Amino acid sequence: MPSCADPQAHAFAERVRAACLQAALDAYEEAALRGLCAEGALEYALDAIRRLDLVPLCPASFKSGNAGCEPPDDPVG
C-alpha cells in the first residue's frame, strides 16, 4: 500500500481512517442494538462518519485558526 511522502500527512490520514472506522463500528453496533435492519444500521454508521468531528484529529499546525480542518458550509460544492 502506498504511503504519503510526508510522514506527518500520513499520520494524519491514518488518524482520520481510524476515527472513521471506530465511529462506523460504534454506530453500527448501536443501531443493531436498537433493532435496525442491516441496511438501516449501515446508514446509521455512514451518518456517524459524516458527523465525525475532525478538528481533534488535525495536527497542531492546522488547529491555529482551524484552516483546513473545518468542513465547508456547502460540503457538495
Q: List, as one string, the DSSP characters of 15-48.
A: HHHHHHHHHHHHHHHHHHHTT--HHHHHHHHHHH
Report residue 76's pLDDT band, with 50, 70 and 90 as the boundaries. very low
pLDDT of residue 70: 55
Encode pLDDT of 1-39 as tens digits.
566 778 888 888 899 999 999 999 999 999 999 999 999
Terminal C-alpha separation, the chain? 30
The answer, yes or no, to whether residue 68 has pLDDT greater than 90, is: no
Taking the whole predicted model, whether its pTM rises above 0.85 is answered as no
Which residues are CB-contacts of 59 (< 8 A; sequence separation ≥ 6)?
8, 12
